[in-house]
Chains A and B, each alone.
Chain A
Amino acid sequence: MTAMRRDLLLCGLFAAAALAWPMVSGLRYSVTQTTFFFIWATVVVQWNLVFGISGIFSLAQVALFAIGAYVTAMLGYYLGTSMLLAMPAGAVVAVIASIALGLACLRLYGPYVALLTLCVSQVLYVLIVNDTDCFTHPPAGCMPLMGGVRGFSRFGDLGFRDWLGSGFYIGNYYVGLALLTAAILFSILIIHSPMGLAFRALRDNPVYAAARGVDRFRYQLWIFGLSAFFTGLAGAFYAVNTGVVGPVVFSFPHLLFLLSMIVVGGVGTVWGPVIGAVVLMVADELMRELGDFRDIGMGLILVGCVVLMPKGLSGLFQSLSARLAGPAASAAEKAK
């Protein structure tokens, strides 16, 4: 079985298990939390394409997520656009923004890419928060163009409230599941395709890659564009799912939380980010009662993972299975 078949099979198993989850759990809280897991996992699976597969230290993913969320909310709020149209529109705007960022980062390497992309997202945050000029005057008072500190609410939903009544969250759950499944399939296709090969070659050695015909300019723009679509769509779905979009989506702790998921799960692997998202969200949930110690606990988990498992949980699984397969394989040799 090729690596690609194995990953597609795992993706199918994951989707099947997740389909049954609302029936099994029955708890509204666990279903809505799982919906959030779908959203964050989608973002980190796409981020991993840039950060892990292509080795570009971009922190833009959270900004792209926020762009998807804001475009969707603003289209719904100002123009009354249906969410079914506004969501893909948000994703497309995120793609355009990402390609522009990719162009800006072309001459930068390593931490400088991180600095530039972080700057862009923080500047967006500051612009939104500091804008106090009223763009429109709704009954509630004053609405800045980008929503200001309060952000947007009541811009529309996917219609599950009318259709399913109080069970609307189940509808959102399945939309989230479809989103994550599509995002994982997309990432598997990219990683195992010739395009993924070019990204990995550029990550390992850009000069040598150029001498073997891989054009950094072209493939950097490709990876920025490709990784932005599902990130923007996740942002758009976040907006629809929560019903509120505010500047908190740009916040630095939020960015670190997502980045930690990739690191804990395993950078540059297909399943690492998904595993990391599960582990950190469960850990976050378990430490809910601890107050300020929650952040410290998160920090400890992250440090522990970096020190003890530099290749993340998926790296640990791999070396464990190799160790288990090792004796079995050598026994088979002897039997011959």
Chain B
Amino acid sequence: MPLLSCRNVTKAFGSLMAVSDLSFDLAAGEVLGIGGPNGAGKTTLFEMISGQTRVTSGSVVLEGRDITRLSPVGRCHAGLARVFQLNTGFDSLTLRENVLVAAYYGRAPRRMPGFRIPSEVGDRVQEALCRVGLETRADRPAATLPVIDRKLLMIAGALAMSPKLLLLDEPVGGLTQREIDQVAEVVGRVAADGVTVVLIEHVMRFLVQLSSRVMILHHGKKLYEGDAAGLSRDRDVVEVYLGQGAGREVARLAAGREQGAQHAG
């Protein structure tokens, strides 16, 4: 049984089909990279998976359970954690409190919130902060953070929910090369720990390096689905999205990834 299954998912804004009749499956432990030109429907697809937007038709199934009608909170408790494209956070809260919200409320519904934080929850917060390397700044307010740390803080919040499926929407957009490597390392470790990841990214280096499978969207439809090595050989993908130069770059990156995998093996 696939962990996540999107069946004929469609989102129409009036006559504009943002996502049109899209189906794909995702097995547990996979890392699926989604790319495509601006306006291809990548973020809309995420919104439908995580529940911020209702599907026009089709269904989203997580572990065999239809979650199409669940609220974002319900999907959160079903095991789905999303990291947003914009630098979202609770600005007036400290980093620790930011992660604490997710750790305390993100795993299961709280019928009657208590007056104390259980120590087990506190441990999970500390662990999540350590996993992204923010533990030394835990008591600073989130508003003071630079972009890279805000992205890492969002990831820490998502990890504190111990999700089955992690959705990352452009986790390295607007970052420098060094920062991209830093996030790639964090996400790589998370994936290695067995968390299934879907990521949207324009930075092909990041996408190719991490994804076990790549899907390219165009006008709300699937243009390509397969391994990263096939991207640069697919004429449509090069034409619509990569361009000739980036296509060669992706080919080189994919080759490097395969070599790396062989070395590791």
Contact = CB atoms under 8 A, between A and B. Distances in A.
Contacts of B89: 204-205, 208
Interface in B101-126: 101-102, 104-107, 109-110, 113-117
A201 B93 contact: yes
B77 interface: yes
A92 to B, nearest CB: 19
A207 interface: yes
Contacts of A334: none
A212 B102 contact: yes
B206 to A, nearest CB: 22
A193 B113 contact: yes
A209 interface: yes
A213 B106 contact: yes
Interface stretch (B59-67, B68-76, B212-220, B225-233): B68-76
Most chain-B Cβ atoms within 10 A of its Cβ — which of A198, A205, A214?
A214
Interface in B32-78: 50, 52, 71-73, 76-77
A268 B93 CA distance: 12
A290 to B, nearest CB: 38
A314 to B, nearest CB: 14
Nearest to A208: B88
B71 A197 contact: no
Contacts of A213: 73, 76-77, 101-102, 105-107, 109, 161
B93 A212 contact: no
B82 A204 contact: no
Contacts of A207: 52, 88
User: Which range contains the number of B residues in contact with the other chain?
Assistant: 20 to 34
B50 A211 contact: yes
B84 interface: yes
Interface in B151-188: 157, 161
Contact of B76 (A198, A200, A205, A211): A211
A208 B50 CA distance: 11
A195 B113 contact: yes
User: Which range contains the number of A residues in contact with the other chain?
Assistant: 20 to 34
Nearest to B107: A213
A211 B52 CA distance: 8
B115 A193 contact: yes
B71 A210 contact: yes
A208 B84 contact: yes
B117 A212 contact: no
B93 A200 contact: yes
A48 to B, nearest CB: 15
A139 interface: no
B105 A212 contact: yes
Contact of B104 (A189, A194, A208): A194
A210 B88 CA distance: 12
By Cβ-Cβ distance, the 9 closest A-B pairs, closest first, are A213-B106, A213-B105, A204-B90, A212-B102, A210-B72, A213-B76, A208-B88, A193-B115, A201-B101
Given A201-B90, A204-B91, 12 more contacts: A194-B105, A194-B116, A195-B115, A198-B113, A204-B90, A207-B88, A210-B73, A212-B76, A212-B105, A213-B76, A213-B106, A215-B73
Interface of B: 50, 52, 71-73, 76-77, 81-82, 84, 88-93, 97, 100-102, 104-107, 109-110, 113-117, 157, 161
23 contacts: A193-B113, A194-B115, A194-B116, A195-B115, A197-B93, A200-B92, A201-B101, A204-B89, A205-B89, A205-B91, A207-B52, A208-B90, A209-B101, A210-B73, A211-B72, A211-B81, A212-B101, A213-B76, A213-B102, A213-B109, A214-B73, A214-B101, A215-B109
